[in-house]
Structure 1
Amino acid sequence: MKYIFIDIDGTLIGSFDHHIPESTTKAITKAKQNGHRIFLCTGRPLSQADMFKSDLFDGIICSAGCYAEINNEVLFERILSNEDMNRIINTLDAYGINYILEGKIGNYYLEKGRETFMELFKHYDANMKWEDIIQNLGLFDMELMAKDVIYKITYYTCDKELINKVKNELSDSFQMVYTDRGEGNMVEVEIMYNDCNKAEGIKQVINHFGATLDDTIAFGDSMNDYEMIQECSIGVAMGNACDELKEVADYVTTHVLEDGIYNAFEKLELI
């Protein structure tokens, strides 16, 4: 039996329409029939990943390794303390950065950041409306955050110098994870505790099942997949993955929309 961990954006799906390619669904179904366990392992918070939970998957790791659940029960979670959350927020405020607080129930934003988010997301789709962003990011007004817990904080920017400034302020306790898509492209920067990543989340899950890293396979496309691609027994980078991930992967499959998961499952004799 193999324990297979699949990222969502750029790996399970390839676009904002949240459509899982038919070949991917077929591959996962066959692999489960062959006795393998399949898990989602995403940077999305649970509030954004919930829509993908189904009988195809045996559990889910969210918030880039800060949260996991098996059979709808919380296996572990790493919540930002109020003190640490305020430290991050104060730093971002000082640089005029608009951010999203990612929680279990929802994601939260300040109304003043709306215009900035609109401008940045035009890099993805010039016709995108605010309602599309609200839906894609699961956004709520900050006033609704009181009953939630926060796992990580995300901001978007095209300014690489700004990323370095924030990193210099916070790197003693927090990591800034992002994928460089090239000059002028929007970057999504995830801020979380230094000891949080997808590989650590995977270790918690396999310990729960009494397995080891020797039994694991990971699939990803971006830099928040880096540790799991390195540490799992087999790390697979999608054909559309960033170059840094391809360099450390054991195998590079085809593009997510070109049967990437199915081709890799076949190659690895999972199906």
Structure 2
Amino acid sequence: MIKAVFFDIDDTIYSHRTKSIPMSTLESLKKLRENNIKIFVSTGRLPWAVNMTDVINGVFFDGYIYMNGQLCTLDNKIVFKNPINKDDINNLYRYVKENSIPCIFGEEKDMYINIKSPFIKNALDNVDIPMPPVQPLERILENDLFQIIPYANSSQLKDILELMPNCESSRWYEKSLDINPKGGTKALGIEKIMESLNLTIKNAIAFGDSYNDIDMLEKVKIGVAMGNSNKDVKNAADIITDDIDNDGVYNALTKLKLI
């Protein structure tokens, strides 16, 4: 029996064309809660990039999976944290400093950059996230990091991954990578939240549209790809619904008889 539904944010529940959550999606979320089905966000975004924007539009969610599964909350309490290996951070620090590579760094509460870059601005503008503050690079040696997003050429990105053997990457923007601890995925985040509810991942379904959603779509009971997803995401899903702006969430939940 389905007890929880997990939603990616960008172009899954939040439309970047209309800059809003579709009314049919808002109604769907309300009906799920009325039917005693818990609702969760499962995003690659950092907490700062959710809290500093209007993408949630005041909707109450039972919990959040941030940074592709590295930080998970349930009822406003952290149930799982998965910081990046310190040796990997030290290796990255030296390389980024020597090559002046702009990066986004994600801590438990804060998000910052080391260098202002038009590539970062363009990427964040595409997902309606404001530019985070610049901080000294040395800060990454002091506090736990859960996600790093370097903006570099393909050769440099390859070098960075080789310097961080305890990490893996996923892509949502052509000139960057989301770098997270190896094995730390949205699927793992769902498992941790479901364990906290004394349930399994097979009591959950998930909606997504991008590469970093593939693992959770494959692991849950039913994975739903939005109609605006790319081919690889659709191939990983059990169901392909309509585009976000054509009532994709509502239509899938209705078909599954969850609302």
> Normalising to structure 1: TM-score of the pair?
0.83
Alignment correspondent of 2:114:
110
Say if 2:193 is the partner of 1:205: yes
Q: Give the match's secondary structure for 1:86.
A: helix
When residues 177 and 93 of structure 1 are mapped into structure 2, their CA distance, relative to the original with a 3 A threshold, is farther
**8 A contact 2:7–2:40 mirrored in 1:** yes
Alignment correspondent of 1:192:
180
When residues 160 and 238 of structure 1 are mapped into structure 2, their CA distance, relative to the original with a 3 A threshold, is farther
Write the distance in 2 (CA, Å) between the matches of 1:31 and 1:164.
43
Give the alignment of 1:83-102 within 5 angstroms: 83-94=87-98, 96-102=100-106
Say if 2:219 is the partner of 1:226: no
Write the distance in 1 (CA, Å) between the matches of 2:149 and 2:61.
26
Alignment correspondent of 1:44:
45
Q: Give the match's secondary structure for 2:251.
A: helix
Give the alignment of 1:34-183 within 5 angstroms: 34-50=35-51, 52=56, 54=58, 56-94=60-98, 96-111=100-115, 113-118=116-121, 120-121=122-123, 136-137=129-130, 139-143=132-136, 149-156=144-151, 159-170=153-164, 172-179=165-172
In the TM superposition, what is the alpha-carbon distance from 1:84 to its structure 2 partner?
A: 2.5
In the TM superposition, what is the alpha-carbon distance from 1:16 to its structure 2 partner?
A: 7.7
In the TM superposition, what is the alpha-carbon distance from 1:71 to its structure 2 partner?
A: 1.5
In the TM superposition, what is the alpha-carbon distance from 1:34 to its structure 2 partner?
A: 1.1
Q: Choose from 239, 247, 253 the match for 1:259.
A: 247
In structure 1, list runs of 5 or more residues that go unmatched. 126-132, 181-185
**8 A contact 1:108–1:139 mirrored in 2:** yes
When residues 154 and 16 of structure 1 are mapped into structure 2, their CA distance, relative to the original with a 3 A threshold, is farther
Letter in 2 for 1:154: I
Write the distance in 1 (CA, Å) between the matches of 2:193 and 2:109.
22
**8 A contact 2:92–2:160 mirrored in 1:** no
Letter in 1 for 2:82: R
Letter in 2 for 1:153: I
In the TM superposition, what is the alpha-carbon distance from 1:257 to its structure 2 partner?
A: 1.5
In the TM superposition, what is the alpha-carbon distance from 1:80 to its structure 2 partner?
A: 2.4
Write the distance in 2 (CA, Å) between the matches of 1:54 and 1:28.
12
Q: Give the match's secondary structure for 2:117.
A: helix
In the TM superposition, what is the alpha-carbon distance from 1:175 to its structure 2 partner?
A: 0.5
Q: Give the match's secondary structure for 2:213.
A: helix
When residues 189 and 104 of structure 1 are mapped into structure 2, their CA distance, relative to the original with a 3 A threshold, is same
Q: Percent identity?
A: 26
In structure 2, list runs of 5 or more residues that go unmatched. none
Alignment correspondent of 1:130:
none
Decide which moves more: 143-152 or 9-18.
143-152
Task: Report the number of matched residues.
Answer: 253
Letter in 2 for 1:26: E
**8 A contact 1:106–1:138 mirrored in 2:** no
Superposed CA deviations along residues 225-246 of structure 1, whole A, max 9, x for unmatched, are 1110000010001111121111
**8 A contact 1:47–1:138 mirrored in 2:** no
Letter in 2 for 1:15: H
**8 A contact 2:107–2:146 mirrored in 1:** yes
**8 A contact 1:61–1:198 mirrored in 2:** yes
> Normalising to structure 2: TM-score of the pair?
0.86
Q: Give the match's secondary structure for 1:97.
A: coil
